[in-house]
Amino acid sequence: MILIVDDDAAIRSSLSFLLKRTGFDTEAVSTPEEALSVVRQSTPQLILMDMNFSMTTTGAEGIQLLRQVKVFCPDVPVILITAWGSIPLAVQGMHAGAFDFITKPWDNMMLVNSIKTALELSEKKHEAETPLTRLEVEKNAAFKGIIGNSDVLMEILGMVLRIAPTNASVLITGESGTGKELIAEAIHANSKRKKEAFVKVNLGGLSQSLFESEMFGHKKGAFTDAYIDRTGRFEMADKGTIFLDEIGELEQSCQVKLLRVLQDQTFEVLGDSRPRKVDVRVVSATNRNLPDMVASNLFREDLFYRINLISIHVPALRERREDIPLLARHFANKIVETNGLKGVDFTSEALTFLQRLSFPGNIRELKNLVERTILVSGKNLLDTADFESETGASALSQKISASTSGMTLDEAEKQRILHELEKYSGNITKVAVALGLSRAALYRRMEKYNISTEK
């Protein structure tokens, strides 16, 4: 049963009719007191709740009711209904434990999808969360290219399988080079949308002036140099999945435009005032700390909640060192196949050496190191010395590697960056390549550790 709480009789009737037509049983009440009476006696599957129940528009009544409802049925998802101009109230509701918020006037399809997603995720919370085995991973073609058998990786892939069939928005976090895009692809490939488009957008490389044209498209003549019609990324992803990479880099002026289309999945093409509707699943990724950015007013809190119904954190490579030998052999086999070389293997000492490195550039850095060492050495059996020469592992490097186990992760990462800066005489481009990082990601780490290239 879905409980509807709203003081407007027309809204109660409209929602009841819509949900009954969709196959749900409903009960509708008009006051917080009636709502509390219901949840004291029974447990609804889901609650649809208005934020205001009197002439006031503060939302205080809705927040209070939400907190009271959560005492009686903490696991029941609550979807708030509010006006677009009252979204800050909805954000307060998310803080208080609401699952999602829908703005008035709502779109029937969006509302039903949100309800179905909430119910699906609620059911999956009660499913057994037995970690996958490597054999189960290998049987799933959607996990091709995701290498490793560490417990933390198996837990992530198990979560992917549980949440992929839903329409929930997913936020994938983790450092640069950890494989966030592969996880996004696996979510799509295991979803009901797998036969439709998977559209990738790097928001970090998208300027404010190009944002609307790139994301929503434009008509011929909409602006100077608009010589032909252009289809936007959201329209390309219709019925499929859109992957918003580096969402933490999105300029604030563009964040509200993105929130609008994520809220009701409608947009306007530049040069065409006719609204267009899409049905997309949104998966986002970032290496930034979005909660910190929200606290600093650099990222909209309402957008953060909209993209973050499900959160998956991909660990750094140094947090899953047991996967390094598998990854190294995988990258070796790939470059051997690509370049028509003879088979390449590693001594046990070489693999142990690789497991001791801090890899601030994560999997991307390991891939670069393995490929570079194979091509430069020309050997079929790689030992520690081969990798030492490619990492500049003189006495200084060996000292860093040997002492890594006694350092915190941040200390080990800082030492590796300092080492590469010394090796390449402060050349940021060469250091970034060696570490498998973008220049921007390297600068962020240098700022974090207060590292300067100035003498």
Mean pLDDT computed over 329-341: 91
Torsion sign (Cα): 208, 213, 219, 220: positive
What are the strands, taking DSSP E only, across 129-232?
170-173, 198-202, 217-218, 230-231
Most trustworthy range by pLDDT among 212-226, 318-332, 379-393, 412-426: 318-332
Number of other CB atoms surrounding residue 195 within 10 Å = 8
Q: Are residues 117 and 225 in the same domain?
A: no
Q: Is residue 257 part of a domain?
A: yes
Q: Are residues 35 and 47 in the same domain?
A: yes
Looking at residue 222, its pLDDT comes to 65
Answer yes or no: is pLDDT of 403 > 60.
no
Q: Which residue has the higher pLDDT, 188 or 107?
A: 188
Cis, peptide link before residue 325, omega less than 30° from 0: no
Look up the CATH number of the domain holding residue 74.
3.40.50.2300
Number of domains in the chain: 3
Residue 393 pLDDT class (50, 70, 90 cuts): very low
Q: Are residues 288 and 345 in the same domain?
A: no
Q: Are residues 74 and 58 in the same domain?
A: yes
Q: Which two three-digit tokens encode residue 146?
A: 């995701």
Q: Are 314 and 156 in contact (CB under 8 A)?
A: yes
Residue 395 pLDDT class (50, 70, 90 cuts): very low
Q: Is residue 117 part of a domain?
A: yes
Q: Is residue 202 part of a domain?
A: yes
Looking at residue 12, its pLDDT comes to 92
Domain with 363, as residue range(s), is 318-448
Q: Which two three-digit tokens encode residue 270?
A: 């530049």
Q: Among residues 105, 124, 143, which one ends one of the domains? A: 124
Q: Are residues 351 and 435 in the same domain?
A: yes
Q: Are residues 196 and 164 in the same domain?
A: yes
Straight-line distance from the first to the last Cα atom of the chain, in angstroms, rounded to the nearest whole number: 68
Torsion sign (Cα): 339, 343, 348, 349: negative
Answer yes or no: is pLDDT of 130 > 90.
no
Q: Among residues 285, 315, 345, which one ends one of the domains? A: 315
Q: Are residues 159 and 230 in the same domain?
A: yes
> What is the rounded distance in angstroms from the CA atom of residue 433 to the CA atom of residue 364?
10
Cis, peptide link before residue 105, omega less than 30° from 0: yes
Q: Is residue 40 part of a domain?
A: yes
pLDDT digits (tens, 9 = 90+) for 224-279: 677 788 888 999 999 999 999 999 999 888 998 898 888 888 888 888 878 889 99
Look up the CATH number of the domain holding residue 341.
1.10.8.60
Looking at residue 398, its pLDDT comes to 44
Q: Which two three-digit tokens encode residue 279?
A: 């049905």
Q: Are 374 and 333 in contact (CB under 8 A)?
A: no
Q: Is residue 455 part of a domain?
A: no
Residue 402 pLDDT class (50, 70, 90 cuts): very low
Q: Is residue 90 part of a domain?
A: yes
Q: Are 358 and 318 in contact (CB under 8 A)?
A: yes
Q: Are residues 322 and 370 in the same domain?
A: yes
Q: Are residues 106 and 210 in the same domain?
A: no
Q: Is residue 353 part of a domain?
A: yes
Mean pLDDT computed over 314-322: 94
Q: Is 340 exposed, middle or buried (0-12, 13-18, 19+ CB in 10 A)?
A: exposed
Percent of all residues in the chain with a pLDDT value above 90, rounded to a whole number: 46
Residue 412 pLDDT class (50, 70, 90 cuts): confident
Q: Among residues 55, 90, 124, which one ends one of the domains? A: 124
Q: Which residue has the higher pLDDT, 396 or 309?
A: 309
Looking at residue 407, its pLDDT comes to 61
Looking at residue 197, its pLDDT comes to 96
Q: Are 52 and 79 in contact (CB under 8 A)?
A: no
Q: Are residues 330 and 379 in the same domain?
A: yes
Q: Give ∠ CA 348-349-355 in degrees, rounded to 5.
A: 90
Mean pLDDT computed over 2-16: 92
Q: Which two three-digit tokens encode residue 77?
A: 């998802």
Q: Is residue 129 part of a domain?
A: no
Residue 363 pLDDT class (50, 70, 90 cuts): very high
The residues that bridge with 310 in the sheet, in sequence order, are 170
Lowest mean pLDDT of 8-12, 121-125, 171-175, 187-191, name the range.
Answer: 121-125
Q: Are residues 40 and 183 in the same domain?
A: no
Q: Are residues 273 and 229 in the same domain?
A: yes
Q: Which two three-digit tokens encode residue 230?
A: 């252009």
Look up the CATH number of the domain holding residue 138.
3.40.50.300
The rounded mean pLDDT for the chain is: 86
